[in-house]
Structure 1
Amino acid sequence: MFAKRAPVTVSLTLPRPAAFARLLSRPVQIIIAIGIGLAAAALFAQMEGERGVPPIASGGDFEVRGVKVDVFAKDADTARYAGWRMAQRQAWRMLWTRTHGGGGAPALSDSQLEAMISGIEVEYEQNGPNRYVATLGILFDRARTGQLLGVSGNVMRSPPLLVIPVMWDGGSAVSYERTNEWQKAWARYRTGDSAIDYVRVAGSIADPILLNAGQIGRRGRLWWRVLLDQYGAADVVIPIVRLERAYPGGPVTATFTARYGPDDSLIGSFSLRASNDSGIAQMMDEGARRIDELYIRALNDGRLRPDPSLIIEEPVDPNALAIENAAEAPIEALDLPTVPTAGTTSVSIQFDTPDVTSVGAGESAVRGISGVRSAATSSLALGGTSVMQVSFDGPIDVLRTGLQARGYTVTVNGNTLRITRRQASPSPQ
């Protein structure tokens, strides 16, 4: 009834890869190439991002750390909110005591304190059904708080200094080659309130190659000049930590050393101890804070100064520049710039500043000496030793005599003077 048909064979020939590529249009090829490039770039960025630790943004806020609270309330949220408010009040009293050397902080409402606070950092916390236990760090905005404290918001800082943190652990040294606890501590350390202008890097891209642990052993100035110019720094600081473990999982002793410059000059050292590996991060944070204090003290006493051999540019002589301009200018239009007289001396004076009032009192006492052109505090360290830059007409011995006449004990070291108030002699019995 139906006629059978012969089977039909269909042959399909696939093009070769080269021929298939020729079949694609030019725009499709471009889109595929861009997609492959983006995928490779994303993979490379992910691999590099795991190596570096970007430093936190450090403004000029006042920071109060280690505020402990222990609060009970009807529920966990209420306890936490009450704990944060209690920490704000405690931090305000601690900040006032630190800047004024005593109690008597002005009574401020919670709303006033919240307007002055720029952030709260949780160092440690435990939440319960109706209890909140925490250790907090409170950040006060300098612009809003400085006027109430009587502290100026503009403080002279050191030249920019590149930070190369080096950690010795298990007999090997590491800096930015891989992520480590010492690098993390310097990345999260808030440097805005420090007198040292730290240049911190994330440790990604080319940083592990340029800023490795072996770099600190090089003494050649040429490579250091190129390196510092690459990161926009004037010199380098090298904080070092060496870990020693009593036994696996046991106490850890860390020796911290503050070094400075291509010659690896020693600033100071100290040791800290953690009960086990879980306390290493907190120990590193405390070590970074203490090393910063060593660098600030070295800056105040004149030990932390940029190396002149690292400066590429030659200083310009203002007298030679004035003569050169005068030779090219017409005689009737000659107007030579005013240059300091040969007898003017620039002097650094170190003086004790236990509180805010001592800063103005010290500057007023120095300005009252005959021959002093200007006197201004360039490095402020409340509760410690500040540095004042003074321009004086005459030799430094005359300035020393004037300071002694005003009741100061003066120690001379080059162009740096250290002054302290003479103690009153006890009355005869």
Structure 2
Amino acid sequence: MRTYFSLPRRARYALIASGIALAGGAGWLAQAQVGGQRGIAAVAASRDIQVSDIEVDVRGDTGVEAREKAWKEAQVKAWEKLDGPNLSDSQIYGMVSAIVVQRERLGPKRYIATLGVIFDRQKANSYLGDDGMSRRSAPMLLLPVTMSGGTQLIYEQRNPWQRAWAEFQAGQSSVNYVRPSGAGGESLLLTYGQTNRRSRVWWRDILDSFGAADVLIPIASLRYSYPGGPIEGTFTARHGPDNAYLDSFTMRAESPEQLPAMLEQAVRRFDAVFQVALADGTIKPDPTLNVKTGDLNPEIARLVELGRRLKAQDEALAQVASQPTEASGGAISAAPINTPPPEGSVALYTVQFQTPDASSFGSVLAAVRGTPGVRSTGVRSTAIGGTSVMTVSYSGSIAQLAEALRGQGFTVQQGATALLISR
């Protein structure tokens, strides 16, 4: 018997209102997790030749004149840094496509700056050849981790380390970076916890979402001495779904104002580390990431299909053998196992074999296939660490097959309907 309790009308209205409020609150929390100022779009990658960290200190009659002279001087210095041939200043100016101001101080009659010079690759290659034109890597997903004050950030909120990577001109690098902006749901998907996961299913889903083949993890661990004081950074390069270590280094910024410059320099050092690792083969797509859930290796799929067909043949032969014949007087006939098949035909036999590991599985299959008289083999079941089963098409009796396998170095135990072989 059920008992029902009726609520006053006001109480019912209060419960309904509470449910609506909770639903609205859940929606607000979900929005708060992906809303706000999170995304920093990466700069467009250019394949032009960029030369950074050109120091200039030039005086002139005015600050503007000093800056113009400094920019021209920087272009010549950048060309010398590329080890280009001797050219006139006008020829060098004609190859420059942009000037990047890294830091500058402009006075009434003086200009002090650190500049970057970008040369048009098509024009510069006529003098430099194909120097610097290296094969690029497979697409690599970039996860820049910031560790500071006991927290680990990637894209949960905007941070200087994320900005430094977003502003890095990566077109000249041999590493093909995939740099998410971190906007919207990316901040929920790409977290520090993901870098410690080993599941290939998780990683394959994420890499497929961004069109990447593997992952690079540059970690910046920042320690602030005191508010407004020096900042010490320990930078660690890792890669792959197993978070494998590559290299590390330390840097120091004397004040928060110098932090962006330190991080910019750290990004270039990371890029150099990744390029060296790429060149020596340390960084390469992990083959375990290419195995998708539910997909069989084509060779295994063919073996499975062959096994199913052989099983169907065994069942058909057994059904025929179980039928009574006139010669047997109505009794079920069974041919002697040592009787060879008719001339020009083959018989199908079952062979069991020990497979302690994958290599022994392959070696046994190869040896049986190479046995004289064996026409074909098919795997019925595979048990690495146990006993696997194959079917063998052989032009002879089971006793003759056993003798042929002994000639291949196997120890053979002959049963009524099958063989057990081992080495």
Shift of 1:147: 1.9
In structure 2, the residue matched to 1:246 is 225
TM-score computed with the length of structure 1 as normaliser: 0.59
Shift of 1:255: 0.5
SS class of match (2:86):
coil
Tell me if structure 2 keeps the 8 A contact 1:117–1:140.
yes
Q: Structure 1, unaligned stretches of length 5 or more? A: 1-43, 98-104, 321-429
**Cα deviation code 1:314-349 (max 9, x no counterpart):** 7879xx9xxxxxxxxxxxxxxxxxxxxxxxxxxxxx
In structure 1, the residue matched to 2:119 is 140
Is 1:88 the counterpart of 2:75? The answer is: yes
- Decide which of 268, 274, 277 is 1:298's aligned counterpart: 277
Distance in structure 2 (CA, Å) of the matches to 1:315 and 1:83: 62
In structure 2, the residue matched to 1:74 is 61
SS class of match (1:303):
coil
- Decide which of 52, 58, 63 is 1:65's aligned counterpart: 52
Distance in structure 2 (CA, Å) of the matches to 1:179 and 1:307: 30
SS class of match (1:96):
coil
Distance in structure 1 (CA, Å) of the matches to 2:243 and 2:219: 11
Distance in structure 1 (CA, Å) of the matches to 2:196 and 2:260: 27
Distance in structure 1 (CA, Å) of the matches to 2:36 and 2:182: 9
Shift of 1:215: 1.4
Change (3 A) 1:158 1:316: farther
Tell me if structure 2 keeps the 8 A contact 1:69–1:134.
yes
Distance in structure 2 (CA, Å) of the matches to 1:51 and 1:266: 28
In structure 2, the residue matched to 1:229 is 208
Change (3 A) 1:219 1:124: same
Alignment of 1:12-161 (within 5 A): 50-96=37-83, 105-110=85-90, 112-151=91-130, 154-161=133-140
Shift of 1:50: 2.8
Tell me if structure 2 keeps the 8 A contact 1:64–1:139.
yes
- Decide which of 174, 187, 190 is 1:211's aligned counterpart: 190
2:79 counterpart letter in structure 1? W
**Cα deviation code 1:166-192 (max 9, x no counterpart):** 000111000000001110111111111
Distance in structure 2 (CA, Å) of the matches to 1:207 and 1:270: 29
Larger radius of gyration: 2
In structure 2, the residue matched to 1:16 is none
1:200 counterpart letter in structure 2? R
Shift of 1:113: 2.1
Distance in structure 2 (CA, Å) of the matches to 1:232 and 1:172: 29
Distance in structure 2 (CA, Å) of the matches to 1:147 and 1:316: 48
RMSD: 2.1
Tell me if structure 2 keeps the 8 A contact 1:146–1:153.
no
In structure 2, the residue matched to 1:184 is 163
**Cα deviation code 1:102-161 (max 9, x no counterpart):** xxx312233x22321111110111112222111111011111101211225752111110
Distance in structure 1 (CA, Å) of the matches to 2:266 and 2:62: 37
Change (3 A) 1:168 1:95: same
SS class of match (1:138):
strand
Distance in structure 2 (CA, Å) of the matches to 1:66 and 1:289: 11
Shift of 1:222: 0.7
Q: Structure 2, unaligned stretches of length 5 or more? A: 1-30, 303-423
Shift of 1:289: 0.9
In structure 1, the residue matched to 2:414 is none
Identity level (%)? 41
After TM superposition, the runs of 4+ consecutive aligned structure 1 residues lying more than 3 A away are 312-317
TM-score computed with the length of structure 2 as normaliser: 0.60
Tell me if structure 2 keeps the 8 A contact 1:76–1:130.
yes
Is 1:259 the counterpart of 2:238? The answer is: yes
In structure 1, the residue matched to 2:385 is none
Tell me if structure 2 keeps the 8 A contact 1:51–1:179.
yes
2:178 counterpart letter in structure 1? V
SS class of match (2:83):
helix
SS class of match (1:145):
helix
Tell me if structure 2 keeps the 8 A contact 1:239–1:259.
yes
Shift of 1:162: 0.1
SS class of match (2:53):
strand
Tell me if structure 2 keeps the 8 A contact 1:53–1:184.
yes
In structure 1, the residue matched to 2:249 is 270
Shift of 1:234: 0.3
SS class of match (1:248):
coil
Distance in structure 2 (CA, Å) of the matches to 1:109 and 1:244: 45
Tell me if structure 2 keeps the 8 A contact 1:143–1:153.
no
Change (3 A) 1:188 1:316: farther
Alignment of 1:369-380 (within 5 A): none
Tell me if structure 1 keeps the 8 A contact 2:37–2:157.
no
In structure 1, the residue matched to 2:260 is 281
